[in-house]
Structure 1
Amino acid sequence: MSRTGASALFCTASRSTLRLAAASPDLTLCDPEANAEEIIKCIIRSDELDVSYLALPELCITGATAGSLLSHDILLNAASRALQRILKATQNTSVTTALGLPYRMNGKVRSCSALICAGRVYAIIPSGTGDAPFGFLPELDYDPVSKPPLTPIPRLLLRFGNELFDQAPKAHPGCVILSPGALNATATSFEQLTQSLSSYSARTGCAIAYASPNPGESGSFYLFDGVCAVAAHGSILAVSEPFSKDPFVYADVNMAELSQFEPYVSPDEIKGDTYLSCVPEIQKKQCRRILDLQAAALSRRLIHMKGKGFVIGVSGGLDSTMALLACAAAADDMGLKRDAVLGVSMPGFGTSERTKSNAKRLVEALSCKYMEISVKGACERHFEDIGHDIKDKSIVFENAQARERTKILLSLSNKYQLLDVGTGDLSESALGWTTFCGDHMSQYAINSSLPKTVIRLVVREAAERFREAADILENILDTPVSPELLPPDKGGITQKTEQILGYYELHDFFLYQLLANKAGPAEIYRKAKAALPYDEDEIYRVLGIFLNRFFSSQFKRNSGTEGPNILLSVSPFAFVMPSDLIGSPWMKEYLSIKNC
């Protein structure tokens, strides 16, 4: 039954049993008018279900990924008009709703949440930590003086998602927390979110409604899956699946039964010092989720560019295999035929028969379209043009092939209106093991946040989904990693990356420690000795290679291609570092390790 004004809000707060809901309404980025209509639908739906409190995502009126445009008057004014439209359309409802919008306070734009009920605004609350979601609004620093007075509402608290997880929980037994979230989707985010909400509800004695941003947000660097959840009593009472077609959940909470307690955390729920869980079943689930996230990212980008499909260079190696599987999965999700994926084999001077055969067999087994274009002739003409002796197998010889392949793929993209999907991975980007403006460049780098060791796990797990290609995938997994830019020896691969750089298991471990834990060389070395089956000298040698290449390759990362952050990212958006430093403190500590 609908009520109006404060009577609706305070009557709701006095109930012994409350129905909490969380929703992630369909979003059109930077279109507050369209978003307002979706928000209105959510509020009316909640009212019809007799929901007491509703949480919507952070900045859901505009979208959280609008970047610097969030401080532009035209968007701020549109957001204000959208809020007025929402208030007018919901004045006969009695749902207390927290919804996000950018709002100017004392001359500064804030990421705020408006608390509304029955057509009235009861508060506009800025993010308490001053952290805009994932750096989308770096200029928004929080000034406590500008915080508007909050109409006291019994038993109701508002916590932004970053505050909910970054701050130590404070006890508020018997209260409701509405949490407009901005958590991006990763391979491990679903487990982390549900575990955190369960734990937080137990430690605070609160009931929580949490809403993640809609998949309609930009996929340039992050993905959002619209997961919504209601938690209480240390349990998840309702949760939507990632990328649900209807991200709307609700649950009833007996407020009198809420109490604080220290939750039991299963060892299986504790993430180890690794990219993925060490628990086999959880790891398998995370591997499947990685492929789902890649497919969702590719679908979002293709729809945005109004493209007809995907084009990808297939080498018969691990990275291009991962990207091809993601494209096939995206085609399936979008209802496209698999021949919307064009796999292009571009054999060069170093291509082996094994990888060439595997590339063709894989594309055909997946029912994608296959094309073969040799780069030898074009490279030979290029060498003549620049006066390079083809017998000189220097870096000129190697990089010319990679750049020719990129030119072919971009031209095919233009010709057939296809998205050129890059294949390079996180390990290669960290080490600078790419050709500048060659494989370093594409239109969307789908593997850019996945280390080589994780890609191997995902491809192995994907063999269960793509059974028609299982034997080929197994062969590819057994193939040595190589750029194949130098001529083969008796038909076999001569250029083996791990013989040149060291094992990827080491490099990926070092990278995780550096990025996720911000560990220095001495700590990385100590942890590697304890965790990995390599002798001390080999760990030390490869760590030196890693540090040198990591600090000298930032110029490639700063000019790289957009791609979704699924695990860790070294994109210039997620990891900021100038390209003209040499990392002296890190190198000095590295050199001192042997003297300790």
Structure 2
Amino acid sequence: MGSRRAEGGTLQCRRLCHQINVPPIYRDDLHHDTEVFEHGIFRVLAAAPSVTVGNPQENVDAMVSIIESAKSDLIVFPELALTGYTCGDLFGCKWLLDAAERQLQLLADRSRKSPAAIVVGTPLRVQDSLMNVAAVIHQGTIIGFVPKSFLPTYREFYEGRHFRASSPGDPNEVHFGGQPVPFGSDLIFHFGEAVLGIEICEDLWTPLPPSGYQAVAGANVLINLSASNETIGKAEWRRDLVRSQSGRCIAGYVYASAGPGESTSDLVFGGHCLIAENGSLVGQSRRIGDGQSPAYVNQTEICCDLDLQRLAHDRRVVGSFDDAIDHTVRTFRHVHLQKLAERTAPATLKRHVDAHPFVPSKSEELSDRCAEIFAVQSAGLVKRLSCLSPSTPLAIGISGGLDSTLALLVALHAVDAAKWPRSSIIGITMPGFGTTKHTKTSADLLIEQTGITGECIEIRQLCLDTFRSLGHSPLGITIDDQTTVESLQTQLNQMPDDAADLTFENVQARIRTMLLMNRGFVLGTGDMSEQALGWSTYNADHMSMYNVNTSIPKTLVRFLVRFAADHHFTGETTELLHRIADTPISPELLPPGPDGSIRQNTEASIGAYELHDFFLYQFVRNGFDREKVLYLAKQATFDSTYDAKTIESTLDQFAVRFFRNQFKRNCVPDGPKVGSVSLSPRGDWRMPSDADHRAF
């Protein structure tokens, strides 16, 4: 670790980790880093209960009903939910404030059996002022008050009339219920590995929200108690704020806003509750004005699971997050909840686990994604073409399969943009001992219909000569000077389905690459899933001058080909591309079946690509361990049904192949990154070639 980062760590402790001097019940120093939540799954509930303005007892009854039915680790209620946000000048009345404080203590008492941390908004008398605060309750005890930092006093809001904002002169604690309770906007609450930071409504809408400072101080679950009224277009703005703040802070963000039970003298509050995680909206509740039926809802809530392990991973790998420590001068006090029993991960998650994380599920989003990917791939190749002579032939091995078809489609876009003739693309078919009539026909038609230059080079004789030179018996078949290509092919076609010969396959793959390399500037076709699994022959299909598919996962390749078929071509070419997209995935290096069909099915050999791509995303993007990946796989809905044994065995095969084949990835050609996951050794994934997979 460099000295600057080490110094930054020291600064973090000095500036941000001051412990608060509170009674022992609030301290849990010995278990500061204890993992309480299995797999880091932290269940949160944001609720806008039915509100009776000015009646704290009725409001507490409504909240207790939610608490007793909730099975959550955190429950968040809106701003001033105890009294109602719209009490106006009633906030100046002693009877209302007395009732609020009395009912807050009763809420703590009545929620004693709940294991959840509860955050609720209430008015609180502090010295000679009235403040808008969030009260934090756990197992019957009020453990802290966090005041609002920024009061809106513009347009429809007039909070400055009733409340005072937090300030440096605030006391560090207040007496409530005969006990000292930590008080201040500088409080952070530790709930196992969930570290809670709290802000109130307007705090989020300011240039420098308190939650940003809280996140740098360690808070990974940010909470906002709000009373945001509904006006045209405001809901989208609210969603954007919550999503973007969760992304900037690499945190979960739980937002609970006041509901329609508030006074409607001048405003309507929609009860919009939102939960976001690192820039993505995990879930949102109903709200007034959302266009759904019924149009009026008196109480809203949303319950979702946050993934604390994923957040921890992202904070570790995003170096600029730690760099913010050097620019932070605020000091925070940390309150630790005690008596935290370990939480077993729920059998069913309250969040969507995408079985195909590289493929958008919505058709409109998928179409936009495919268009964007084509543009990125093509732009990368256009730049590379600008460095070449216009007379340079672009060589692509056309197999009639998915990957080479996608590379060709990208090349067509690129040469059109660079104003090169399509004839500069040389599509070479190289039929070998495993080539089927189906794929050869597809390759020939593709070359013909796209207007590129086509060549066919039969490689079987070259392979036979190589076998002789090596003294190799392909698939155990003895060859001599009298053996011909036809006689060898006849014997190969009679081999059993489980016949295997790596040298037989590698010779064909390397001869194809040799021919391509000697013909022009080679465009690679191998995709990211093949790189992850090492499903390529070293210095054969593994190598090229530029690979436009280098960061495209296999599960997305098929959609990209279909997208091109439907958006860039018509008639016979559209039908042809769909035919290619429906062809089984195969390297076609082993002989076909007796009926001429593809016998070497990749997925039958190594497992389904939808599983491998799922594992790839969870391992590389999120850094999860084996048990976490298996847990998430059980939550996902794949295209096919897999039993637990199949999922486990495929994951183990993925791990073995991923670790053992890093040496191939260490020398892959250049190619454009298009998504959040890439295996380029120059930027995204650097790993020793001899790392031991058994630790995973």
Q: Normalized against structure 2, the TM-score is what?
A: 0.46
Of 461, 476, 488, 1:377 maps to 461
Change in Cα spacing, 1:270 to 1:402, as seen in structure 2 (3 Å) is farther
Cα distance, 1:351 vs structure 2:
0.4
- For 2:370 and 2:432, the matched residues in 1 are separated by 32
Q: Which runs of 4+ in 1 moved over 6 A?
A: 168-172, 197-201, 203-206, 262-269
CA deviation profile, 1:1-46 (whole Å, cap 9, x unmatched): xxxxxxxxxxxxxxxxxxxxxxxxxxxxxxxxxxxxxxxxxxxxxx
- For 1:473 and 1:324, the matched residues in 2 are separated by 12
Change in Cα spacing, 1:388 to 1:270, as seen in structure 2 (3 Å) is same
- For 1:293 and 1:263, the matched residues in 2 are separated by 36
* Amino acid aligned to 1:472: L
- For 2:574 and 2:444, the matched residues in 1 are separated by 14
User: Do 1:171 and 1:204's aligned partners in 2 also have CA atoms closer than 8 Å?
Assistant: no
- For 2:453 and 2:694, the matched residues in 1 are separated by 49
* Amino acid aligned to 2:421: K
User: Do 1:323 and 1:422's aligned partners in 2 also have CA atoms closer than 8 Å?
Assistant: yes
CA deviation profile, 1:506-549 (whole Å, cap 9, x unmatched): 11111011111111111111111220332111111111111111
Structure 2 partner of 1:509: 614
User: Do 2:243 and 2:276's aligned partners in 1 also have CA atoms closer than 8 Å?
Assistant: no
Cα distance, 1:263 vs structure 2:
11
Of 577, 581, 596, 2:687 maps to 577
* Amino acid aligned to 2:544: S
Of 518, 526, 534, 1:411 maps to 518
Are 1:472 and 2:576 counterparts? Answer: yes
- For 2:205 and 2:688, the matched residues in 1 are separated by 44
- For 1:351 and 1:578, the matched residues in 2 are separated by 36
Structure 2 partner of 1:456: 558
User: Do 2:385 and 2:418's aligned partners in 1 also have CA atoms closer than 8 Å?
Assistant: no
Are 1:351 and 2:469 counterparts? Answer: no
Partner SS state of residue 551, structure 2: coil
Partner SS state of residue 529, structure 2: helix
Change in Cα spacing, 1:536 to 1:369, as seen in structure 2 (3 Å) is same
* Amino acid aligned to 2:507: A
Structure 2 partner of 1:528: 633
- For 2:644 and 2:408, the matched residues in 1 are separated by 38
Structure 2 partner of 1:541: 649
* Amino acid aligned to 2:681: P
User: Do 2:400 and 2:442's aligned partners in 1 also have CA atoms closer than 8 Å?
Assistant: yes
- For 2:276 and 2:379, the matched residues in 1 are separated by 31
Of 365, 370, 376, 1:287 maps to 370
Change in Cα spacing, 1:201 to 1:349, as seen in structure 2 (3 Å) is closer
- For 1:510 and 1:482, the matched residues in 2 are separated by 21
Aligned length: 342
- For 1:205 and 1:547, the matched residues in 2 are separated by 34
* Amino acid aligned to 1:400: V
Q: CA RMSD in A?
A: 3.3
Partner SS state of residue 528, structure 1: helix
User: Do 1:383 and 1:389's aligned partners in 2 also have CA atoms closer than 8 Å?
Assistant: yes
Change in Cα spacing, 1:205 to 1:281, as seen in structure 2 (3 Å) is closer
Cα distance, 1:337 vs structure 2:
2.4
* Amino acid aligned to 1:316: G
Structure 2 partner of 1:152: none
| Contiguous gaps of at least 5 residues in structure 1 | 1-167, 176-196, 207-261, 414-418, 587-596
| Contiguous gaps of at least 5 residues in structure 2 | 1-197, 209-235, 246-271, 283-351, 477-499
Are 1:398 and 2:522 counterparts? Answer: no
Partner SS state of residue 407, structure 2: helix
Q: Normalized against structure 1, the TM-score is what?
A: 0.53
* Amino acid aligned to 2:516: L
User: Do 1:363 and 1:370's aligned partners in 2 also have CA atoms closer than 8 Å?
Assistant: yes
Change in Cα spacing, 1:379 to 1:174, as seen in structure 2 (3 Å) is closer
User: Do 1:171 and 1:205's aligned partners in 2 also have CA atoms closer than 8 Å?
Assistant: no
Q: Superposition pairs for residues 225-374 of structure 1, below 5 Å?
A: 270=281, 273=354, 274-307=357-390, 308-374=392-458
Are 1:427 and 2:529 counterparts? Answer: yes
- For 2:238 and 2:508, the matched residues in 1 are separated by 53
Cα distance, 1:203 vs structure 2:
7.1
Structure 1 partner of 2:150: none
- For 2:244 and 2:665, the matched residues in 1 are separated by 45
User: Do 2:393 and 2:519's aligned partners in 1 also have CA atoms closer than 8 Å?
Assistant: no
